[in-house]
Chain A
Amino acid sequence: MAPRTLFAKVWDAHVVREARGAPALLYVDLHLVHEVTSPQAFEGLRLAGRRLRRPDLTFATVDHNVPTGDRSLPIADPVAARQVEALRANARGYGVELHDLDSLDQGIVHVIGPEQGLTQPGMLIVCGDSHTSTHGAFGALAFGIGTSEVEHVLATQCLVQSRPHTMEVRFHGMPGAGVSAKDLILAVIGRIGTGGAAGHVIEYTGAAIRALSIEGRMTVCNMSIEAGARAGMVAPDETTFAYLRGRPRAPHSAEWDRAVGRWRALASDAGAQYDHVVELDAATVAPQVTWGTNPGMVGEITGRVPDPAVLPQEDRAAATRALQYMGLEPNTPLEGIPMDRVFIGSCTNARLEDLRSAAAVVRGRTVARTVRAMVVPGSQRVRAAAEAEGLDRVFQAAGFEWRNSGCSMCLGMNDDVLGPGERCAATSNRNFEGRQGRGGRTHLMSPAMAAAAAVTGHLVDVRTLGAD
């Protein structure tokens, strides 16, 4: 057999039916469900009198619209409450396991899947959420789908998909101190653009990826969608197995050994061909920060806001519009731009390591008086683990708010929103206009960089600040 990529192996193993010139019917191993993109799918199922084919492969949580404040209070927004209640009713009615607001297992859907060991190498995972690409960090093929497709998976446990192209993003060298997984992926998006990987599944390779923890790999795969990719993947290795071992939903005992044997065989074969290859030198990547209104509008913290007049013709109009929205002048040094808010959270960067890296910068310092800063852990288990090592006290002593888990200000569906003109250093994934609140201005960066912005009150190169 010809050498195959990781992607091809996972794809081929899930084909229920594939005919030449037609999209494949693929089997879904794990279907994650949340409150915002599922109610219409369950309703469609009900109206057609169809059953949910595999409730045992379907897992639900509430994350997008939920409040991150006091969990003992009812949800104040009646429309949001109705949406959460709809998921509860659907989970009950169809026998789906739901990690509800009062559960220690509640959290952002892309944080709790891995945390519980539901996410495993070689799986095909879908969810009505574009950041499903996160799960590719385990060597799973994981991608976001629309609500009609959610309904299709509920009814059939299958999905009709055209085979995407493949792209290898290969990192040479190792990143320097203060440069994180977030900086690597922002550098990729800056290079290829926000639509640069459309129609492709990316496999990330190279020593810099191998050296990342599973959490770092999740950050990288998470933002594959911001480059337009269908999915992002990293071949599973000892790091992956060590993370999964002993997790509640991971295989155990003899089953574990058999599973690891299969997982080892998933890595791309020597000589496997990708449709495109992009190469980056990790050693030259500096901490990144976005200046515009999509994640491809990004630069090094040591640089300046670009001047649209000197950009390629096709980028000028968008850059001009972005700078107007962002309230920035061309050629302004990025370092020194004052921040009003800091948001440490989201499925991109709200796992334990992210909070540790932010806390290392915050420890012994205080949030600038002009800044309102918050930490929203990615799951209630992340929150508990962070509290067990005292990170909550570090953040709170410095003046951060310490919240319950949810998507929160990444998309501002709950009360956590920016006001018009407010400028925010955010560890999330999208700096689109109005994403965090109408008129809000988002700068994306790593947790350490966001923490540095919180304590100085402005964008700053975390490498010059030092961590304890």
Chain B
Amino acid sequence: MQPFTVHTGRAVALLRDNVDTDQIIPKQFLKRIERTGFGDFLFHDWRRRPDGSADPDFELNRPGAAGASILLAGANFGCGSSREHAPWALVEFGFRAIIAPSFADIFFANCCQNGLLPVKLRAADVAELARRAEKPAWRLTIDLVTQRVLDRTGFERDFPLDHYRREMLLAGLDEIGVTLQEELRIAAYERRTASLRWGRAG
């Protein structure tokens, strides 16, 4: 996993609440068996008109949005389907972090698994950042080491992230490798509970 320490970049705002993962990556693009190849289809039905042309009204298609690496989003972002294709598509499109008042639980976990930092800030702060993001030269910094979001004109907020997730993201750790080091405990648990465990009968 790509580590996340400090990132500075442009932000684009998509301030709608309850954006579900069906919008982030529609189902017709879930048939691939690889982890790549999803970026072109990010927000497909919103980005593209039925004839395939770009919809100029959609937030990510506006002139200032090109090259943005931070997504400013509404509450309960990523709700619905557990598809990890959603963070895969966001990362491949170029996003390194999402700032929103709240995230759906599965989506939040999926982001952390892919080095895509989910940052929780109050709705008023996200709205303020969206205003600042309208200036083309504006850049936002997200510092996971100090757990702060800041710009050069005085915006500075702390954000929460549990210690475990933070360490994983900072180091880009392979969570499976870490868990496999618990082999003795896992095996002991299996022995302790073996008599309770339903087995493959017949």
Contact indicator A130/B106 (Cβ below 8 Å): yes
Q: Residues of A at under 8 Å CB distance from B?
A: 13, 16-17, 21-23, 25, 27, 29, 36-37, 39-40, 43, 48, 50, 56, 64-65, 77, 79-80, 82-83, 86, 97, 118, 120, 123, 128-130, 143-149, 151-152, 155-158, 160, 162, 164, 194-195, 198-199, 225-226, 228, 230, 248-249, 251-252, 262, 294, 296, 314, 317-318, 321, 411-413, 420, 430, 432-435, 438-439
A361 to chain B, nearest CB (A): 29
Contact indicator A152/B179 (Cβ below 8 Å): yes
Does residue B30 face the partner (Cβ distance < 8 Å to A)? yes
Give Cα distance in the complex from A153 to B107, angstroms. 17
When C-beta atoms are compared, the residue in chain B nearest to A97 turns out to be B200
Contact indicator A50/B202 (Cβ below 8 Å): no
- Chain A residues near B114: list those with CB within 8 A: 148
Contact of A433 among B23, B105, B110 (CB under 8 A): B23
- Chain B residues near A79: list those with CB within 8 A: 31-32
Contact indicator A148/B18 (Cβ below 8 Å): no
- Chain B residues near A23: list those with CB within 8 A: 162, 164
Q: List 12 A-B contacts (CB under 8 A).
A: A16-B182, A16-B189, A21-B163, A40-B33, A86-B33, A129-B81, A147-B110, A194-B76, A318-B18, A412-B27, A432-B80, A438-B45
Contact of A130 among B50, B82, B193, B198 (CB under 8 A): B82
Contact indicator B22/A37 (Cβ below 8 Å): no
Contact of B23 among A148, A164, A434 (CB under 8 A): A434
Does residue B131 face the partner (Cβ distance < 8 Å to A)? no
Give Cα distance in the complex from A401 to B190, angstroms. 47
When C-beta atoms are compared, the residue in chain A nearest to B76 turns out to be A195
B53 to chain A, nearest CB (A): 15
Contact indicator B189/A230 (Cβ below 8 Å): no
Contact indicator A432/B31 (Cβ below 8 Å): no
Give Cα distance in the complex from A64 to B18, angstroms. 24
When C-beta atoms are compared, the residue in chain A nearest to B30 turns out to be A36
Contact of A146 among B28, B45, B113, B200 (CB under 8 A): B113
Does residue B185 face the partner (Cβ distance < 8 Å to A)? yes
Contact indicator A36/B104 (Cβ below 8 Å): no
Give Cα distance in the complex from A17 to B185, angstroms. 7
Contact indicator A420/B50 (Cβ below 8 Å): yes
Contact indicator B186/A16 (Cβ below 8 Å): yes
- Chain A residues near B162: list those with CB within 8 A: 23, 162
When C-beta atoms are compared, the residue in chain A nearest to B162 turns out to be A162
Q: A152 with B175: in contact, given A198-B104, A430-B80, A433-B45 (CB under 8 Å)?
A: yes
Interface string of B69-93 (1 = CB under 8 A from A): 0000001100111111001000000
Does residue B26 face the partner (Cβ distance < 8 Å to A)? yes
> Would you list the 7 A-B pairs with minimal beta carbon distance, nearest first?
A195-B76, A39-B33, A148-B113, A146-B110, A146-B84, A144-B82, A147-B84
Contact indicator A158/B179 (Cβ below 8 Å): yes
Q: A249 with B79: in contact, given A21-B163, A155-B176, A434-B23 (CB under 8 Å)?
A: no
Contact indicator A148/B31 (Cβ below 8 Å): no
Contact indicator A156/B176 (Cβ below 8 Å): yes
Give Cα distance in the complex from A130 to B107, angstroms. 10
Contact indicator B27/A27 (Cβ below 8 Å): no
Does residue B16 face the partner (Cβ distance < 8 Å to A)? yes
When C-beta atoms are compared, the residue in chain B nearest to A21 turns out to be B163
| Interface hub of B186, B193, B199 (most chain A Cβ within 10 A) | B186
- Chain B residues near A64: list those with CB within 8 A: 30
Does residue B124 face the partner (Cβ distance < 8 Å to A)? no
- Chain A residues near B75: list those with CB within 8 A: 195
Does residue B137 face the partner (Cβ distance < 8 Å to A)? no
A154 to chain B, nearest CB (A): 9
Contact indicator B16/A43 (Cβ below 8 Å): no
- Chain A residues near B35: list those with CB within 8 A: 40, 43, 147
Give Cα distance in the complex from A40 to B34, angstroms. 6
Does residue B14 face the partner (Cβ distance < 8 Å to A)? no
Give Cα distance in the complex from A64 to B82, angstroms. 13
Give Cα distance in the complex from A398 to B126, angstroms. 53
